[in-house]
Structure formats: structure tokens, C-alpha cells
Amino acid sequence: MKNQKAKQKNDAVDNDKRFQPSPAGDFRQTGQQAGRCERWRKALLCIDLQYLGCAEGFGVFENHRQSGVSEEAIQYYLKRVEEVVTPNVRKLQEYFRTQDAEVIHCRIQSRTADGRDRSPEHKNLGLHAAPGSKLAEFLPQVAPVEDEIIINKTASGVFISTNIEYVLRNLCISDLYITGVTTNECVSSAARSACDLGFKVHVIADATAGITQELHKASLLTMQDRYAEVLTSDEVIEKLQQESS
């Protein structure tokens, strides 16, 4: 009886894994190994680090004095993006690349020049980055290199508005390390959705920014230990080094 239960348990595990995709570069497609992840991987997700919402004089911050957000809050946000977020994201990107791990870039960009395919939310907010526009460009310090994956979205939630889940499953990603802006909107949305879908989520506190310090801290507090593990960039690198040693 004991052996029979053990066999049933192993069969259940095998059935769970049967339709998982193979890891990148694994072309074994024979017998029961077909379509299975033999090795789970980690990915760094960089959200909306582009001119549209991260640079003075562009997009959201072209006429920010008319936005209703205080000048103090705006300058806090822009300074944090430039002096804290961007350097830490770059540091993480460089580390993930040395580990042959995926670095995935997500940005706001419509499929059409006039933006008619945008979500009602983005239309109401006036958020539009047309293909090939300056607003759709990534900040040069943290831009994609070589053939890194770029996910374009027309809503706050990358999981609800794109095929990113499909892509992550195909890459055999189990752990998602999230950076970018803004903590209280697109970052939080990605973390919650990824958690609900079964990914292990890690949000990087010093590689994210909210439009105010209060919103940033409140968002991290909400996500901590419920939707994600909240870490600093140095803690992430130390954690991954220990796991690989």
C-alpha cells in the first residue's frame, strides 16, 4: 500500500511536469522528456524605464506643472530614477547577463502610430508612445542589448495586456526579479499578477520608484511577504551568488 501511494504521488508529479516547455537550448524531445522543463531559471524584469515616464521634458513630465502633482514629488521621483533606480537596475542587468540569465524589458508602446489600440486607461491618462518615437525609447543606461526580449504593452498591467506569461513559461522561468517604475502602479501590478500565476516574485526596493516616497514605501509594505519578497539589489546578488555556489 505504501509503495502504491508513493507511485501515485510520483505519477502526479510527472503529470504536472508533462506539458512544461523545455529550457532554452534543450532540444531533447523524445519519450516522456518531451516538452518538460529540466531546469528552472530566473529572469530580471525591467518595467517602463523609458523616456515616456522617466525623463524631464518628455511625455509625462513634459508639462508636469499642469499635472496636479507637486513639484517636490516630481523632483523626488526624477532624482530617484536617475541616481538610485537606473544605477541599480544596470548593476542587476550586468550580473544577470554574466549568469546567462534572462533580462526582459517591458515598455509602454502602442502597435499603431495614432495609438488607437491603447487601453481606455492609457487613453484617459494621455499616455502614448508610438512605435519608433522618442517616448518609446529605453533610457540608454538600461537599454536592451543583443537579442534580449522586449515586451510592449498598452496598459499598466503587463500580464493582463501581453503574452508575457506564455513567454516566461517557454523560457522555463520560475523566479521573477522585478525592477522599474512605478512601484505603486505597473510594478505592483506585475508582482501581484505574477504571484497569482505561481511565479516566485522578488521586488527590488532600490531599483524601483513611486511618484512619491510615501507611495513607494506603502507599495513595498503591501507586497512584502504577501505577493513578493522585497530585497535590495545587493541582497539579490548575494542571494544568487550563494545559490550558485
**What pLDDT digit, counting tens, does each position of 60-108 carry?**
887 765 566 788 889 999 999 999 999 999 999 999 999 999 999 999 9
What lies within 8 Å, CB to CB, of 172 at 6+ separation is 20, 21, 22, 23, 24, 37, 39, 40, 41
Give the Å distances, CA to CA, from 151 to 20, 163, 187.
22, 8, 14
Whole-prediction pTM: 0.85
C-alpha cell recorded at residue 80: 530617484
Question: Do 205 and 220 meet the contact criterion of CB atoms below 8 Å apart?
Answer: yes
Please give the CATH superfamily to which domain 41-244 belongs.
Isochorismatase-like (3.40.50.850)
* β-strand partners of 158: none
Cis peptide before 112 (omega within 30 of 0): no
Sheet holding 200-209, edge to edge: 150-153, 102-108, 41-47, 173-181, 200-209, 229-231
Please tell me the predicted confidence (pLDDT) of residue 18.
38
Q: Using 50, 70 and 90 to split pLDDT, how confident is the model at 23? A: very low
Mean pLDDT in the chain? 88
Q: What is the pLDDT of residues 100-157, one digit of tens each?
A: 999 999 999 999 999 999 999 999 988 999 999 999 999 999 999 999 999 999 999 9
